[in-house]
Structure 1
């Protein structure tokens, strides 16, 4: 596998990892007894930590990519085998 292909696949894993990480950051302002600002939705997050979310996304994406790469190297995810060309 070329390094550019590996990078592209890793970036896809990183982008999709947001769907796994973000649901765990759902503490609403109403749950924390934080006073709401005028016009604020009660279901909006009380505080957002983008750095923490990005680190968690990176960890999830790295683990998923390593599992994928392990499968690729061992032939479990061979493109020819998966497409039926073998």
Structure 2
């Protein structure tokens, strides 16, 4: 779980930095419609980047995590079944 946190923290920090850096300073009398569209496009680009990064992380983690979780479930069910059989025999 800590390994996942180590991978998610840079993505979240990167997304925060991207959001903080994409907001332009609005000058008085400036054309706000073009400024808003640039903010919108910058945010769309940064969120798309974060989403693709997270999808890539999930694609890398999933083939490792699924077999481990499967093994843990099988061992857990096996232990429960053995305890039931052992209790009935004794």
With normalisation by structure 2, the TM-score equals: 0.38
- Bigger proportion of residues as helix: 2
With normalisation by structure 1, the TM-score equals: 0.40
Higher Cα Rg: structure 1 or 2? 2
